[in-house]
Amino acid sequence: MNIFSVIGLVLGGVVFFIGLRLASENMMMFVDYPSMFIVLGGTFAATAICFQLDRITVLFKIFLSHILGGKKINYAKLIANIMQIGESYRNGEGMDSLSSKADDPFLKEALELIGEGFLESKHLIRLLEDRMDNMNKMRMGDAGKIRTLSQFPPAFGMMGTTIGMIVLLANLGGEDAMKMIGPAMGVCLITTLYGVVVANLVVIPIGENLIESAKDIHQKNQIILEGVKHIMKKSNPVVVAEELNSFLLPSERLDWKEVVKG
């Protein structure tokens, strides 16, 4: 579980709830079903027009799986795995058996391609680079779709507020007109509140989370690609570790001395 993301989600909800509670003891004044219908229904309709709904559903599932079951990428463990595979390959072990030792799917795929022996080294590396870049473009594109969705809830919130204002102004009249304006304006603005909350507490954080996840996966694949190049060259594992550590912050790097000792 990605505990920090979960804490962030819970904290956002708590802050919003406490803010409403501090504003008024009557929490029901913030509940308006027509406003909910306009914001959520309008956002759903606009999403259906712009994108394939099944793809958007998949993206939200990816986000939930990343939040509930995802773990931060352990780059040091990944580099250690590449070192060990490279050393075994230097000692003559076959690539067929080495691919089963790969902990990462992209690394496993690369080793299987090497083991098949159909592609020359340059062609194989170019193929892996293309797959890495194309997958990153698709992930970033999908995350961008979620960010696009964040425009819809505030827009429909404003639409609901406009509808409420029209109804309000159309019904003003008589001696009690001034007394009606305050409560009626409050109801009108609830729709804007719903739109802002859905966009800033739900949609935008999900989009940003997916973008960060795509960046992490791309960096991981870059490390793997560089490691595969060294495996094919049968480079010294220590050289491999130092080369791959160059992609990382000092706190994330592998202490290759521990691997060598082990």
Report how far residue 160's alpha carbon sits from residue 116's, in angstroms, rounded to the nearest whole number: 60
Q: In the numeric block, which tokens belong to residue 166?
A: 């029209």
Assess contact for 143 and 214: CB atoms under 8 A: yes
Q: Residue ranges of the domains in the chain?
A: 32-261
- Tell me the DSSP string of 119-188: S-HHHHHHHHHHHHHHHHHHHHHHHHHHHHHTTHHHHHHHHHHHHHHHHHHHT--STTHHHHHHHHHHHH
The pLDDT score that the predictor gives to residue 68 is: 63
Helices (H), the chain: 3-23, 33-36, 42-50, 53-68, 75-90, 95-99, 105-116, 121-149, 152-170, 177-198, 204-233, 237-245, 256-261
Report how far residue 77's alpha carbon sits from residue 253's, in angstroms, rounded to the nearest whole number: 9
Q: Scanning the structure block, which residue is given the tokens 């809830």?
A: 153
The pLDDT score that the predictor gives to residue 69 is: 61
Higher confidence at residue 43 or residue 175?
43
Least confident stretch, 92-101, 132-141, 228-237:
92-101
The overall average pLDDT reported for the chain is 86
The pLDDT score that the predictor gives to residue 176 is: 65
Residue 1 has pLDDT above 60, yes or no: no
The pLDDT score that the predictor gives to residue 26 is: 85
Residue 261 has pLDDT above 70, yes or no: no
Report how far residue 11's alpha carbon sits from residue 5's, in angstroms, rounded to the nearest whole number: 10
The pLDDT score that the predictor gives to residue 241 is: 92
Residue 98 has pLDDT above 70, yes or no: yes
Distances (CA, A) of 62 to 58, 68, 146: 6, 10, 12
Residue 80 has pLDDT above 80, yes or no: yes
pLDDT per residue over 47-67, tens digit each?
888 887 777 787 777 777 766
The pLDDT score that the predictor gives to residue 100 is: 87
51 dihedral zone (left: phi>0; alpha: psi -120 to 50; beta): beta
Question: Nearest 10 degrees: CA dihedral of 159, 160, 163, 165?
Answer: -100
Q: Could you count the other beta carbons within 10 Å of the beta carbon of residue 143?
A: 23
The pLDDT score that the predictor gives to residue 50 is: 85
pLDDT per residue over 136-185, tens digit each?
999 898 888 888 889 999 999 999 888 888 877 777 766 666 666 666 67
Residue 19 has pLDDT above 70, yes or no: yes
In 3D space, the residue among 186, 236, 207, 241 whose CA is nearest the CA of residue 60 turns out to be 207
Percent of the chain residues topping a pLDDT of 70: 92
Burial call 157-188: b when 16+ CB within 10 Å, e when fewer: bebbbeebeeebeeeeeeeeeeeeeeebeebb
Report how far residue 103's alpha carbon sits from residue 79's, in angstroms, rounded to the nearest whole number: 11
Residue 3 has pLDDT above 80, yes or no: no
Residue 239 has pLDDT above 80, yes or no: yes
Provide CB contacts within 8 A for 242, sequence distance 6+.
256
pLDDT per residue over 102-140, tens digit each?
889 999 999 999 988 888 889 999 999 999 999 999 989
Assess contact for 95 and 115: CB atoms under 8 A: yes
The pLDDT score that the predictor gives to residue 183 is: 65
The pLDDT score that the predictor gives to residue 61 is: 76
The pLDDT score that the predictor gives to residue 262 is: 59
